Amino acid sequence: MLPWSIDWAGRLEQRTYESALLRGNPLGDPHERPVLVYVPPGYDESDQRYPVVYVTMGFTGHLGMFFNRMAFRQPYPELLDAMFATGDVPPAIVVFVDTWTRYGGSQSLDSPGTGQYLSYVCDEIVPWVDASYRTVADRDHRAMTGKSSGGYTAMVMPLMRPDVFGSLATHAGDASFEVSYRSDFPRLARVLRDKYDGDIQNFLKDAATRTDRLQSEDIDLFEIYGVASSFSAAPDGTVLLPFDDLGEVVPEVWERWMALDPVEMLKQPQYAEAARSMRAIWIDAGRSDEYYLDLGATAFHRGLQAIGVPEEKVYFELFDGKHGGIEYRYPLAVRWLCEQFQ
């Protein structure tokens, strides 16, 4: 494995998309966004049309990270290229989309606290890709994939927009919020009390002036605020945290979070119908996931069973592993999705 480059069988293009929907967003984040588009081997030599797999990243993730090269591990785009280079996987275009915000992410939702990121993906990026590349331009030949917060997007975006996406693959996606989120509230309340006089705005002001590296608890505070800005912002953009100074949930705010829990969404008729319409659903997570997202994955799988999604449409696996270092799983899901497209 070369530590610095590969000879590509396909091609990875770096593009920029100027978004009308993100222009003037509440956080003042850029409306010009990077897009990475991978085209498989043979694309330039044929007039074939291809299904498309979309990828969103986890919280604090951005597209530049897909170029990070760690010892003995290849970046995701290179793993994809190696898989398609074998010639035994039905080819597809793979699009890496950016839904970053200054707080670390948007959960790819429309929110008065962050901007119109779900609409940006579904109503701007997807049509642009279909117009710019030889795609099979229908929902039955599109899938959304991702890990962690990206895995959350992969679950909820197809439920919210089944007109756009007909398949999904979620790796350790945020789900079962009572388990994965709520248990952390008392610890975060203590951090806010002891270091920031109980006010997360004091943390944000402090973090903005630092020259030293952020610590793990800082990332946790950014994440809870970033998720709150996506799940529970007031109409004027004010971010409402789901817990008080004692670490106890604020019921009216927590209800808004739970309404966006993928497991709970499956209990609503419109989302259950959307789930049943999916052609293929991949769910996996590490058995030792530090955020208990293996339990969320299991709950999401059981929720699909409860609403009558046929088992032959679903791939579910708990593998030996934690939350990080699981990029080798992503091409496995893409391979499976490409086979289902056929």
Neighbouring C-beta atoms of residue 299, cutoff 10 Å: 21
- What pLDDT, on a 0 to 100 scale, did the predictor assign at position 185? 98
Give the three-class secondary structure for 106.
coil
Residue 257: which pLDDT band, with cuts at 50, 70 and 90?
very high
Both 289 and 214 in one domain: the answer is no
**Cα end-to-end distance, the chain, whole Å:** 32
- In the numeric block, the tokens 């696996």 are attached to 317
Contacts of 273 (CB under 8 A, 6+ apart): 162
Residue 188 lies in a domain: yes
- What pLDDT, on a 0 to 100 scale, did the predictor assign at position 2? 65
**pTM, whole model, 2 decimals?**
0.97
Comparing 201 with 211, which gets the higher pLDDT? 201
**DSSP β-bridge partners for residue 317:** 284
pLDDT digits over 90-147, tens only? 999 999 999 999 999 999 999 999 999 999 999 999 999 999 999 999 999 999 999 9
The last residue of one of the domains, among 231, 258, 285, is: 258
Residue 6 lies in a domain: no
For residue 279, give the nearest of 313, 305, 233 by alpha carbon. Answer: 313
Residue 6: which pLDDT band, with cuts at 50, 70 and 90?
confident
| For residue 1, pLDDT beyond 60 | no
Cβ-contact 175, 262 below 8 angstroms: yes
Cβ-contact 21, 123 below 8 angstroms: yes
Domain that holds residue 15: 11-175+262-341
Cβ-contact 285, 293 below 8 angstroms: yes
* Dihedral over Cα of 144, 145, 148, 150: its sign: negative
Both 234 and 301 in one domain: the answer is no
Residue type, 47: D
Both 77 and 217 in one domain: the answer is no
| For residue 84, pLDDT beyond 90 | yes
Both 155 and 288 in one domain: the answer is yes
Give the three-class secondary structure for 184.
helix
Count of domains observed in the chain: 2
Residue 4 lies in a domain: no
The CATH number linked to 137 is: 3.40.50.1820
- What pLDDT, on a 0 to 100 scale, did the predictor assign at position 3? 67
CA within 13 Å, CB half, 117: 29
> Average pLDDT for residues 215-227, to the nearest whole number?
91
Residue 3 lies in a domain: no
- What pLDDT, on a 0 to 100 scale, did the predictor assign at position 155? 98
- What pLDDT, on a 0 to 100 scale, did the predictor assign at position 104? 93
| For residue 5, pLDDT beyond 80 | no
Residue 69: which pLDDT band, with cuts at 50, 70 and 90?
confident
Both 101 and 123 in one domain: the answer is yes
The two tokens of residue 289 are 């996931």
Both 57 and 160 in one domain: the answer is yes
Comparing 340 with 209, which gets the higher pLDDT? 340
Both 51 and 119 in one domain: the answer is yes
- What pLDDT, on a 0 to 100 scale, did the predictor assign at position 70? 81
Q: What does the DSSP assignment read for 76-105?
A: HHHHHHHHHHTS-S---EEEE-----TTS-
Comparing 317 with 60, which gets the higher pLDDT? 317
